[in-house]
Structure 1
Amino acid sequence: MKYIGIIVVIVLAIALYMVWGNLKQPDYLGLKNGQFAPMPSSPNAVSSQSEDASKKVEALPLKADIETTKEAVLASVAQLSEFEVVTNNPDYMHIVFVTEKMRYRDDLELYFDQEQGLLHYRSQSRVGYSDKGLNAERYAKFAVIYASL
């Protein structure tokens, strides 16, 4: 009986840790000198600024102007999943996706690099080690929709 109690406590602690990690906004979000945070060692993230080929996605061209680009971004993400725009600055946008089944949160960061004419993309799952390719798949869908607008 004593061991069952210990196991229950451990399982509850792990569950609470995962819930907290899923709800808490990560500290690494944001731009520093036009750069996103480095990629984690886990395979649950992709970025157009990654040096790791397995996590690298292509930056996309900006549209005619920032306003048009942001409209295309919002129209694109609206077709992907439930989302919330957390930050919308002139050169940076932070969007949180919520997965359908488990309600996990994934952070999408976009950098509107007007100097280079590029839309940089970074997406990472908040919890877990592997996302089973979800962030890469979401990027691929986003890129197709964005290019069509």
Structure 2
Amino acid sequence: MKILLIVLLVVVALLVLNIVRIVMQNTTVPTLGHDNGQLKPLSKKPNAVSTQAADEERRVRTWPFKADLASTRAAILEAVKAYGGAEVVTEADDYIYVVFTTAKMHYHDDVEFYLDNEAQQVHFRSASRAGYSDLGLNRQRYEKLTELYGQ
């Protein structure tokens, strides 16, 4: 009986530590932004997608500009608003940073848009803060935002 109690306490302790780790990851804001048109590289975890990913499996396509920079930025913000569950954190001429919060578990996902005026392309990066896998959520978000941006 004593061994069973010890095993149970160890299991509970491991669960609590895992919950604390996930909460810490979810509340820690990563360093983001772009440098000379390059968004931050993705981590090794399979919980992100980017137009600039080195890994083909996590790479997504850029979006074409609308008529000009201002209308492109407005279309991105409208797509984000229509998607829902988002807070626009940073909005500059060539960069938008948004935090999406998942409905059920309240996980935070960081999404960036770099508007490359010279190439007339929008670069995209979406990454989950917590956990290892996102079960494809960031790719699904990209696809839905792409659809909304195209409307």
Return the TM-score normalized by structure 2: 0.90
> Percentage identity across aligned positions?
41
Distance 2:120 2:64 in 1: 6
Instruction: Supply the RMSD in Å over aligned alpha carbons.
Output: 1.4
Indicate the structure (1 or 2) with the bigger Cα radius of gyration.
2
| Unpaired runs of at least 5, structure 1 | none
Aligned to 1:100, the other structure's residue is in SS state coil
Residue identity opposite 1:76 in structure 2? A
Distance 1:134 1:4 in 2: 34
Aligned to 1:85, the other structure's residue is in SS state strand
1:33-44 equivalences under 5 Å are 33-44=36-47
Residue identity opposite 2:18 in structure 1? I
How far is 1:82 from its partner?
A: 0.4
How far is 1:64 from its partner?
A: 1.7
Q: Check if 1:63 corresponds to 2:61.
A: no
Q: 2:56 matched to which residue of 1?
A: 53
| Unpaired runs of at least 5, structure 2 | none
Q: Check if 1:81 corresponds to 2:87.
A: no
Return the TM-score normalized by structure 1: 0.91
Residue identity opposite 1:17 in structure 2? R
Contact kept, 8 Å, 1:49 with 1:120, in 2: the verdict is yes
Q: 2:10 matched to which residue of 1?
A: 6
How far is 1:65 from its partner?
A: 2.1
Aligned to 2:57, the other structure's residue is in SS state helix
1:85-124 equivalences under 5 Å are 85-124=88-127
Q: 2:135 matched to which residue of 1?
A: 132
